[in-house]
C-alpha cells in the first residue's frame, strides 16, 4: 500500500470521476485507474463500482475511505511539524559583518553555538551599504554595524556592545610613553582616519571630540579599510583625554608610518 494510492482513492471518492480526479492530481487518467485497481487487488475488495457513466463507492470503499483520509492527514501533519521544527531548531542565520569588527563577532558566534547548538551562522563580510541593502531585501537576516548612520526607520536596531576609540602614535613620539594625553597636545599632528564615506560614525565622533577641546584636526593621508591597530595605542574613550588601552602583541610590523602622525581607530 502506497500513499499515492490512498491519495488517488480519496480524490476519486471526492469527484466520483476518474478523469476529473486525474486532472486534480495532475496525472493521466490511466495512472489513477491502474493504482486504484492495484490497491483493490492488494486489499482483496472493490472500492468502487464502475460503469460507462458513473463511479460510486462500494460498501467496502465507504468503510475504507475515512481510514485512508486519516493516513493522509497524518502525513500532512508530520510534514508540517518537521517544517516548524526546522524553523526553530535547525536554522541557518545569515549575518553580515565587517572584518574590522575583530573577535567580537567570533565571541557572539561561540555564544550562539553554546546556547543554540542546532542553529548555525553563515557569516558574510560585506561593506556597510551592502549589509544594509541586503537586510532590507531579505538576503541577510541581520547585520553588525558600528553606529546608526544610513540605517532607516524600516530597520530594527539593537545595541550589542560599545567600542573603545583609541589613538595610535609612533613609538618614537615623545608622548607615546605617557599614560594620559590631552587631545590639545596632538593638535599639530596630522590626523589619519578613514574617509567619512567609509565610517561616518567614527569620523564624526573624533571630529566632535576635537571640537569640544578646541582642536581643529589637520587631516593626513586617509587610512585604508580594516587597518590593524598599532602596537602602541592610547585610548580616547573620554572627551579630551587619552589613556592607555591594552592591545595584543603581534609579530607583524607596526602599521604606523615612521613620520609623526596620529591615527584614530575603532
Q: Residue 253 pLDDT more than 80?
A: no
Sign of the dihedral through C-alpha 256, 247, 148, 240? negative
Q: Residue 144 pLDDT more than 70?
A: yes
pTM of the model: 0.47
Per-residue pLDDT tens for 178-188? 878 888 888 88
Please report how the helices 18-25 and 3-15 are oriented relative to each other, as an axis angle in degrees rounded to 10: 130
DSSP per residue over 189-258, as a string? Answer: SEEE---TTT-HHHHHHHHHHHHHTT--PEE-SPPPTTPPPPSSEEEEEETTEEEE------SSPPSS-S
Amino acid at each position: 500500500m502506497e500513499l499515492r494510492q490512498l491519495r488517488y482513492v480519496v480524490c476519486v471518492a471526492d469527484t466520483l470521476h476518474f478523469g476529473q480526479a486525474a486532472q486534480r492530481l495532475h496525472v493521466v487518467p490511466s495512472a489513477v485507474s491502474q493504482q486504484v485497481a492495484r490497491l483493490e487487488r492488494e486489499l482483496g475488495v472493490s472500492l468502487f463500482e464502475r460503469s460507462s457513466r458513473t463511479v460510486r463507492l462500494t460498501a467496502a470503499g465507504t468503510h475504507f475511505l475515512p481510514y485512508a483520509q486519516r493516513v493522509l492527514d497524518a502525513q500532512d501533519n508530520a510534514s508540517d511539524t518537521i517544517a516548524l521544527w526546522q524553523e526553530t531548531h535547525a536554522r541557518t542565520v545569515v549575518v553580515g559583518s565587517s572584518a574590522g569588527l575583530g573577535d567580537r563577532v567570533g565571541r557572539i558566534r561561540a555564544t550562539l553555538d553554546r546556547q543554540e547548538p542546532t542553529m548555525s551562522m553563515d557569516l558574510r563580510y560585506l561593506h556597510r551599504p551592502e549589509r544594509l541593502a541586503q537586510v532590507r531585501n531579505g538576503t541577510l537576516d541581520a547585520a553588525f554595524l558600528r553606529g546608526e548612520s544610513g540605517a532607516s526607520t524600516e530597520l530594527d536596531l539593537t545595541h550589542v556592545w560599545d567600542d573603545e576609540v583609541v589613538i595610535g602614535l609612533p613609538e618614537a613620539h615623545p608622548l607615546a610613553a605617557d599614560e594620559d594625553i590631552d587631545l590639545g597636545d596632538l593638535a599639530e599632528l596630522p590626523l589619519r582616519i578613514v574617509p567619512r564615506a567609509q565610517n561616518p560614525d567614527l569620523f564624526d565622533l573624533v571630529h566632535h571630540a576635537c571640537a569640544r577641546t578646541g582642536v581643529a584636526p589637520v587631516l593626513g593621508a586617509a587610512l585604508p579599510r580594516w587597518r590593524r591597530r598599532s602596537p602602541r595605542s592610547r585610548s580616547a574613550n573620554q572627551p579630551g583625554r587619552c589613556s592607555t588601552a591594552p592591545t595584543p602583541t603581534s609579530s607583524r610590523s607596526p602599521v604606523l608610518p615612521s613620520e609623526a602622525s596620529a591615527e584614530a581607530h575603532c
